[in-house]
């Protein structure tokens, strides 16, 4: 189950151009299985209509503390008691100031003030012009709301509706979803530093050609996202893939197996968990031509010789830290047949405590997968599901097996 399924979210909109993004956010929340109750300030209704938000959430929108639909006429109490979390997106500079002062003269700030502090978390996705964001008054207010128990999600940087460029944009709906999901995810990997390889490698034959494979990197990126949501500090070493970097994850892009090894060697001394999902090319051309190889008219292909690439996982697993138990190594096996037999043998050959098998051709590029976990106790299947769901399950399995995070 994803962390948001079954959650009841009060989505509050205050005034700002970013209200248009809140329509998409509401849609994503509903798609994730949450129920969404929208509450809008008068200013928000200048930017997007309650009709849109009602249509997307299937619930009529609240805009007034005098809403007669509530039997007891206490919308602020009823709405805040029913929520698993209150998320204000966009949260304007004015709304933050209102929270700081504990104002209660309109429904949204009133229900934030009335929420049971210990039970109903308040998350804020600020949105404003860069000067407003940088203003000492806003920064002072942000520090104060955080101290009063709100979780401030931060802002994006870039072009703003006013034409200026800088900090203050509301996070994208997908980013807010990641933050919210992480908020509800058990922090099983808190304090762990997770290093992940993902995607294919590209081994150059000449400046325009090379050998690679069909790995999309989706499984590794999903694991990076899930590990981060579970509280880990995550570094992702990615081969050539077309995927956005998961929020809060440090990404190092590489091309060849040797580039990947160098990046991993640089990061492994800091890591406590290493997860090798990359489909590393087993061989590379013995020589990479400096210029494009031309046809010579003979009709014969150029003679290509290959040499074996370093085995990144096996090298890391053989390192002193891994052998001492300070670095928990997880391997993947992409097989096309006899998954259990091949993957079990690979676990021993690579010297890793946990190996995750999957059928390569059935999963490359797909959004779902099925996994077979093999450790020294035996094997266990994680049945077919989305890669995001499997990544969450795998993170829980790794957390249950790896040594506790070292003290900082
Ligand atoms: N791996 C690696 N470096 C390599 C080859 C593989 O780090 N040069 C890692 C992969 O990231 C994966 C595991 O080793 O975690 C197994 O990869 P796989 O390609 O299935 O196995 P190979 O070692 O290449 O064995 P074979 O091709 O014989 O199946």
> Which pLDDT tens digit goes with each residue over 3-61?
999 999 999 999 999 999 999 999 999 999 999 999 999 999 999 999 999 999 999 99
Check whether residue 228 and residue 373 sit in a common domain. Answer: yes
Check whether residue 300 and residue 231 sit in a common domain. Answer: yes
d(CA 322, CA 317): 5
Task: Specify the pLDDT at position 363.
Answer: 80
Q: pLDDT at residue 359 above 90?
A: no
Check whether residue 137 and residue 208 sit in a common domain. Answer: no
d(CA 194, CA 230): 11
Residue positions annotated with a catalytic role: 162
Check whether residue 38 and residue 128 sit in a common domain. Answer: yes
Is residue 375 included in any domain, yes or no?
A: yes
d(CA 27, CA 174): 11
Tokens 């203003």 locate to 135
Q: Is 75 helix (H, G, I), strand (E, B) or coil?
A: helix
237-272 per-residue burial string, b: 16 or more CB within 10 A, e: under 16: bbbbbebeebbbbebbebbbbebbbbbbeebbeebb
Q: pLDDT at residue 364 above 80?
A: no
Count other Cβ atoms within 10 Å, centred on residue 408: 4
- Answer yes or no: is the C-beta of 334 below 6 A from any ligand 1 atom: yes
Cβ atoms of 107 and 65 within 8 Å: the answer is: yes
pLDDT, tens digit (0-9, with 9 covering 90-100), for 120-167: 999 999 999 999 999 999 999 999 999 999 999 999 998 988 898 999
Cβ atoms of 241 and 253 within 8 Å: the answer is: no
Check whether residue 271 and residue 345 sit in a common domain. Answer: yes
Task: Specify the pLDDT at position 72.
Answer: 92
Cβ atoms of 368 and 383 within 8 Å: the answer is: no
Is residue 408 included in any domain, yes or no?
A: no
What's the rounded mean pLDDT across residues 197-226? Answer: 96
Is residue 407 included in any domain, yes or no?
A: no
Check whether residue 116 and residue 241 sit in a common domain. Answer: no
Q: How far is the CA of 312 from the centre of ligand 1 (A)?
A: 8
Domain count, the chain: 2
Nearest to 171 by CA among 189, 158, 184, 187: 158
Q: pLDDT at residue 361 above 90?
A: no
The dihedral built from the CA positions of residue 290, 292, 297 and 299, taken in this order, carries a sign that is positive
Domain C-terminal end among 142, 166, 184 = 184
How far, in whole angstroms, is CA 369 from its chain's centroid?
A: 18
Cβ atoms of 313 and 353 within 8 Å: the answer is: no
Task: Specify the pLDDT at position 32.
Answer: 95
* % of the chain at pLDDT higher than 70: 100
pLDDT, tens digit (0-9, with 9 covering 90-100), for 75-119: 999 999 999 999 999 999 999 999 999 999 999 999 999 999 999
Residue with CA nearest ligand 1 atom 12: 332
What's the rounded mean pLDDT across residues 271-297? Answer: 96
Check whether residue 180 and residue 199 sit in a common domain. Answer: no
Cβ atoms of 229 and 181 within 8 Å: the answer is: yes
Tell me phi and psi for residue 287, to 5 degrees.
Answer: -130, 135
Q: How far is the CA of 405 from the centre of ligand 1 (A)?
A: 27
Q: How far is the CA of 344 from the centre of ligand 1 (A)?
A: 13
Domain C-terminal end among 132, 153, 184 = 184
Is residue 47 included in any domain, yes or no?
A: yes
Assigned token pair, 79? 């709405």
Q: pLDDT at residue 360 above 80?
A: no
Check whether residue 178 and residue 211 sit in a common domain. Answer: no
Task: Specify the pLDDT at position 365.
Answer: 78
- Answer yes or no: is the C-beta of 316 below 6 A from any ligand 1 atom: no
Check whether residue 317 and residue 203 sit in a common domain. Answer: yes
Residue with CA nearest ligand 1 atom 20: 333
Domain C-terminal end among 146, 165, 184 = 184
- Best residue among 198, 217, 223, 278 to mutate for probing ligand 1, ranked by most atoms within 8 Å of CB: 278
Check whether residue 120 and residue 246 sit in a common domain. Answer: no
Assigned token pair, 279? 């489909």
Check whether residue 201 and residue 113 sit in a common domain. Answer: no
pLDDT mean across residues, the chain: 96
Pairing mode, if any, of strands 156-159 and 165-169? Answer: antiparallel
Which residues span the domain enclosing 392?
Answer: 193-401
Task: Specify the pLDDT at position 367.
Answer: 87
Ligand 1 atom nearest residue 355's Cα = 15
Ligand 1 atom nearest residue 332's Cα = 15
Q: How far is the CA of 245 from the centre of ligand 1 (A)?
A: 23
What's the rounded mean pLDDT across residues 168-173? Answer: 96
Assigned token pair, 45? 């209704």
Check whether residue 275 and residue 396 sit in a common domain. Answer: yes
The pTM of this model reads 0.91
Tell me phi and psi for residue 203, to 5 degrees.
Answer: -110, 115
Write the CATH number for 131: 3.40.50.1950
The dihedral built from the CA positions of residue 342, 343, 348 and 349, taken in this order, carries a sign that is positive
pLDDT, tens digit (0-9, with 9 covering 90-100), for 108-123: 999 999 999 999 999 9
Count other Cβ atoms within 10 Å, centred on residue 121: 18
Task: Specify the pLDDT at position 1.
Answer: 60
What's the rounded mean pLDDT across residues 272-301? Answer: 95
- Answer yes or no: is the C-beta of 234 below 6 A from any ligand 1 atom: no
Write the CATH number for 234: 3.40.50.10300
């Amino acid at each position: 189950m994803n962390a948001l399924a079954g959650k009841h979210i009060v989505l509050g909109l205050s005034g700002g151009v970013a209200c248009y993004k809140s329509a998409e956010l509401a849609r994503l929340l509903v798609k994730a299985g949450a129920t969404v109750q929208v509450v809008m300030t008068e200013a928000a209704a200048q930017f997007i209509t309650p009709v849109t938000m009602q249509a997307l959430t299937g619930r009529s929108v609240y805009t007034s503390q005098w809403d007669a639909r509530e039997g007891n006429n206490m919308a602020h109490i009823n709405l805040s008691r029913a929520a698993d979390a209150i998320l204000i997106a966009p949260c304007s500079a004015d709304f933050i100031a209102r929270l700081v002062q504990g104002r209660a003269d309109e429904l949204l700030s009133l229900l934030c003030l009335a929420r049971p502090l210990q039970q109903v978390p308040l998350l804020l996705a600020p949105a404003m012009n860069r000067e407003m964001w940088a203003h000492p008054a806003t920064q002072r207010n942000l520090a104060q709301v955080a101290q009063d128990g709100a979780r401030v999600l931060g802002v994006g940087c870039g072009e703003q509706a006013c034409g200026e460029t800088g900090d203050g944009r509301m996070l994208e709906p997908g980013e807010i979803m990641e933050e919210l999901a992480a908020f509800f995810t058990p922090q099983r990997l808190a304090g762990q530093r997770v290093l992940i390889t993902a995607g294919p490698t590209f081994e150059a034959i000449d400046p325009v050609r090379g050998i690679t494979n069909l790995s999309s990197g989706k499984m590794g990126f999903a694991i990076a996202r899930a590990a981060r949501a579970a509280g880990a500090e995550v570094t992702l070493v990615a081969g050539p893939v077309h995927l956005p970097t998961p929020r809060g994850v440090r990404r190092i892009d590489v091309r060849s197996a040797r580039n990947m090894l160098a990046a991993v060697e640089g990061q492994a001394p800091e890591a406590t968990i290493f997860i090798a999902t990359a489909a590393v090319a087993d061989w590379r051309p013995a020589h990479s031509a400096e210029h494009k190889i031309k046809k010579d008219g003979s009709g014969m292909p150029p003679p290509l010789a290959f040499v074996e690439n370093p085995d990144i996982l096996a090298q890391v697993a053989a390192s002193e830290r891994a052998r001492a138990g300070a670095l928990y190594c997880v391997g993947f096996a992409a097989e096309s047949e006899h998954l259990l037999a091949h993957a079990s043998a690979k676990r021993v050959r690579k010297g890793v405590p946990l190996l995750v098998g999957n059928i390569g051709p059935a999963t490359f590029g797909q959004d779902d997968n099925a996994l077979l976990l093999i450790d020294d106790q035996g094997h266990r299947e994680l049945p077919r599901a989305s890669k995001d769901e499997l990544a969450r399950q795998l993170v829980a399995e790794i957390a249950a097996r790896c040594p506790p995070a070292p003290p900082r």
